[in-house]
Amino acid sequence: MKAVELRTRTEADGSIKLEHTGLSGGVLVRILILSEEEEGEEEKRYLKTISRNPAFDFLNEPEEDIYNTKDGNPFKR
């Protein structure tokens, strides 16, 4: 197995383009993507996206607010 490292930037739409891998045509490859984003950035982006999703609007209704600070047990680290 041969390892080839290629550095590239994501396009505006989040896609990537790989050119000139140095490999022959028709070679079966496996792609591993390691992002250099800060830890937690993906989760922040995910939470921001779902918070705008109208499918979750019902969670803002008063009847959904059924818990308070006296419910459950505190989490201790």
pLDDT of residue 45: 84
The pLDDT-based confidence of 33 (bands split at 50, 70, 90) is confident
Residue 11: what residue type?
E
* The pLDDT value given to residue 41: 77
DSSP string, the chain: -----------TTS-------SSPTT----------PPTTHHHHHHHHHHHT-GGGGGGGSGGG----TTSS-----
Residue 4 confidence class, pLDDT cut points 50, 70, 90? confident
